[in-house]
Amino acid sequence: MFETNESTRKYRIWQRDPLAIRIYSRNMLEQKLNYIHNNPLQEKWKLANAPEDYHWSSAGYYLTNTDKFNIIKDYRERI
C-alpha cells in the first residue's frame, strides 16, 4: 500500500503513475488487454493456469459474457 495525501483516504492500493499511454486503435487496446489477462500466468507470479482462471481478471467475461463483478464495460461496445 502507498500512503496518500488525499483527503478521502489514508492509503491507496495502487501507486498512481503519471505515464499514461494513449490507446489509438482497437488492435493496440487488444494487445494491452491481452498482456493484462496473461500477466497472472507469468513464471514470476503463477497465479493461474489460464487467464480466465484468475479470479480478478476480466478474461472470463470475454469468454463467457458473464460479469461476476457487475462492473465490466465491454470495449467492443464502444469502438
Which residue did the predictor score with more confidence, 6 or 36?
Answer: 36
Percent of the chain at pLDDT above 70? 87
CA–centroid distance for 19 within its chain: 16
Total-model pTM: 0.73
Phi, psi dihedrals of residue 12, rounded to the nearest 5°: -130, 135
What 51-60 contacts at long range (C-beta under 8 Å, 24+ apart), as own/partner pairs, is 58/33
Is the pLDDT confidence value at 49 over 90? yes
pLDDT band at residue 56, thresholds of 50, 70 and 90? very high
In the block, which residue shows the cell 494491452? Answer: 32
